[in-house]
Chain A
Amino acid sequence: MNGFEGSFLGNSDRISPDAALECGVCWWVYDPTQGDETWQIPAGTPFAELPAHWRCPSCDAAASQFMVLHDDDAELQQKPRPAIPESRAQLRQRERQILAAYTAVDARMRDLPVYNGKLTIQVVGLQSWQESLLAVLVTPWCMNILRLPGDSERLPIEGSSRDIAFPSGSYSFTSGQVEGLGAIESCSLFSPMEQFDDPLVAREVAAHALEALLQAPEPAPISRRHFLRGGRNSTDDAAR
């Protein structure tokens, strides 16, 4: 049985055995410690193990109408599995994986005019960021902010964009698939790469970009005049 409308997006595995659930229609509460006399369910039966024909004894609503009332263990269960490598060695391994994936792509790009042969493939500043991995990818054909989702995260459909908020502002990321790497999201910084001559320079620019991405802008100084007039800051006037 799955499809709990209000609970964990229908993922019944997420409901811990001790969870009490409430009927979404009549608010009758199923408490595993009590069981259910009407359907002759013995006390101690978790909600997820109720028989398929079980319905709300009070109003006859389907089991899928029930929502978690309180669930002490759910917090723990909700946390994604430790998909994000924390240790340095794991990060190194992911970095090698990314490099390998784009090295395979490189073979297909090499004879194209957008390919800047002076550059090499680099993964700059790979780090975990909010349950995902973040890096700047430098290749001879593009420089992108790359975001690898955690295992439990489902990305939007390939080719669609969404805004992701970072300390320095929000950026539009487009999701895609890379062979050997799976689903990724990226935001283009440069492409083609004709203005770069040297892989070290590209690396430096990438590192600076990542740093600036994760850095909150200093708040603009509030002028006294604007403050008293109710304006927020002086940039309010100017159209950028």
Chain B
Amino acid sequence: MSSPETFYDVFRQQGISRRSFNKFCSLTAASLGLGPSFAPRIAHAMETKRRTPVIWMNGLECTCCSESFIRSGHPLVSDVVLSMLSLDYSHVLMAAAGHQAEAALEETRTQHAGEYILAVEGNPPLNEDGMFCIVGGRPFLEQLKEMAAGAKAIVAWGSCASNGCVQAAKPNPTQATPIHKVIRDKPIIKVPGCPPIAEVMTGVLTYILTFDRLPPLDRLGRPEMFYGQRIHDKCYRRPHFDAGQFAEEWDDENSRKGYCLYKMGCRGPTTYNACSTVRWNEGVSFPIQSGHGCIGCSEENFWDNGPFYDRLAEVQTPLGVEANADKIGLTAAGVIGAGVAAHAAVSALTRVRNPNSGE
């Protein structure tokens, strides 16, 4: 696929109407929190820019990220997937196999050196020289490093690539290691979640392709627009939390009433993700809405943070709430000035304001 076609050409070839193309652009602008004025710009970029090759690699993982990705809400998004990904390299989606596939990978690496985006699902195990994950006869670690060298940017899909996930849980026999600890010389966008929300994944990719730069990232390298708030902040059961109304058992009266699941082990208060706003399956629902607490799957070491059904109790792990996101120095009462309090207030307010509404 070396022809200089644009995304729009690809869409047209697949028989997608101008109307649904525009719809896709405005939906994407909205999901990126950019406001309607950006839709024409996304459309313009898609019409004029050359297709950026995306290579999707799979290491030690369960493919749930790919599965989530190809089920993203708007039908056209899956077409984005097919036109951007399958043509180059992806274990799950490509038609080629064996030597042919590896040849395609090699071709992209050499022909588009420095241009392509490397999407990594899963992570490399380092133990026994990487023997626990072999792709095309070689350790995945080797392939990963080789492909990363020529990549423009790397997207770490899912919790495996971002922070290790289940294979890195104690005692981690294969020494599965998140990719930012293996590759240190490339910009890495972490999109944690097990799996991440489909719209978040397509949104991140569209942002990079449209604006030709990385989305704004938080301190942990996650896109701010999707990981800037806790599940708890926008949870529809939040008023029950505030009012001290909790489910105490899975089948008690309170859980039937839809009370807060915090006492049942919900990790909402310590989890940064967009589930409570974007939701899943085209915005139909999300775990808490289905009656199950959040398990905090986008947080670091979530497998090691105690049983899912134990209350967050002693889960004030230093890695949980404290170290994350925007901690503000509001301690030490006598020391802080009025400026600090005002700044904290304004930044909290900015965080909860609807995008683009105050400008």
Q: Which residues of A contact B (CB under 8 A)?
A: 105-109, 112-114, 139, 141-144, 158-161, 163, 165, 168-172, 174-179, 184, 186-192, 194-198, 200-202, 204-209, 211-213, 217, 220, 235-236, 239-240
Contact = CB atoms under 8 A, between A and B. Distances in A.
28 contacts: A105-B242, A106-B244, A113-B316, A141-B241, A144-B242, A159-B236, A168-B358, A170-B354, A176-B238, A176-B239, A176-B240, A186-B242, A188-B233, A189-B352, A191-B233, A195-B328, A197-B333, A201-B333, A204-B338, A204-B341, A208-B341, A208-B345, A209-B348, A212-B342, A220-B359, A239-B32, A239-B38, A240-B34
A208 to B, nearest CB: 3
Contact of A113 (B32, B313, B322, B357): B313
B331 A195 contact: yes
Given A189-B352, A191-B269, A208-B346, 20 more contacts: A106-B244, A108-B246, A113-B314, A114-B262, A159-B237, A161-B236, A168-B358, A169-B357, A174-B234, A177-B243, A186-B238, A190-B348, A191-B241, A194-B316, A201-B330, A204-B338, A213-B349, A220-B359, A239-B211, A240-B216
B239 A159 contact: yes
B232 interface: yes
A187 B352 CA distance: 8
A176 B242 contact: yes
Interface centre among A169, A179, A198 (most CB of B within 10 A): A169
B311 interface: yes
Chain A interface mostly: mixed
Interface in B217-238: 225, 230, 232-234, 236-238
Contacts of A169: 353-354, 357-359
Interface residues of B, number: 58
B315 interface: yes
Contacts of A170: 353-354, 357-358
